[in-house]
Amino acid sequence: MPKQVDHRERREEIARALWRVVEQRGVAHLSVREVAREAGMSHGQLQHYFASREAMLSFAMDFASEQTSLRVGRDVRELGERPHPRDVLRVMLTEMLPLRADARATSRMSALFVLEALHNENFHARAREGMAQGRLLVEELIRQAINDGRVAPDRDPVIETHLLLALTGFSALLELGVTEPDEARAAIDHHLDRLFL
């Protein structure tokens, strides 16, 4: 049993090394060799944990998604026992943006996942499924808020969901310095204030 824990921990260390390669040197340098060097191991040692670049990338992407979910869960718990759906949506939206170092790494992995998914059928199916699940969660929150009288009954939950998810487009603007973090947060707050009664 301890070996499995060590194996998982080592795979997580490799995933974090992959994130650093992407963050510091860019996707063009994302190779098994480069990640092994960043992780402080030989190419052969890394292949003991991941047989291919695709397997390594797949794990790193899943791990990034897990870390985002953990941050969202932690922040939602901090809102209290029955948080307002506006606050839950704000947490979800802001945690998907590169506003802090940990969120920046996972945001970049999400962007990389989408790029890889355009040319890899396995990644495409997984990325699509993950995004569809996230989208459904947001729509359920909006529908519940309408039912609870916190959002006007004439609002279309599908359109409102799409508008909220469009706010995640701030990622590219933030990464390229077109928009400042405070501006992105203000826009999210402004939109949520207009949505909720």
| Mean pLDDT along residues 72-84 | 95
pLDDT digits (tens, 9 = 90+) for 90-129: 999 999 999 988 888 888 888 888 988 999 998 899 899 9
Residue 176 half-sphere exposure, CB side, CA atoms within 13 Å? 6
Indicate if the pLDDT at residue 25 is higher than 90: no
What size, in residues, is the chain? 197
Which pLDDT band holds residue 24 (cuts at 50, 70, 90)?
confident
Tens digits of residue pLDDT in 147-170:
999 999 999 999 999 999 999 999
- 196: β partners: 151
Rg of the chain on CA atoms, in Å: 19
Collect all residues with Cβ–Cβ distance below 8 Å to 185 and sequence separation of at least 6.
94, 99
Domains present along the chain, CATH in parentheses: 1-51 (1.10.10.60), 54-195 (1.10.357.10)
State the pLDDT confidence band at 4, using cuts at 50, 70 and 90.
low
**Positive or negative torsion for Cα 7, 13, 16, 22:** negative
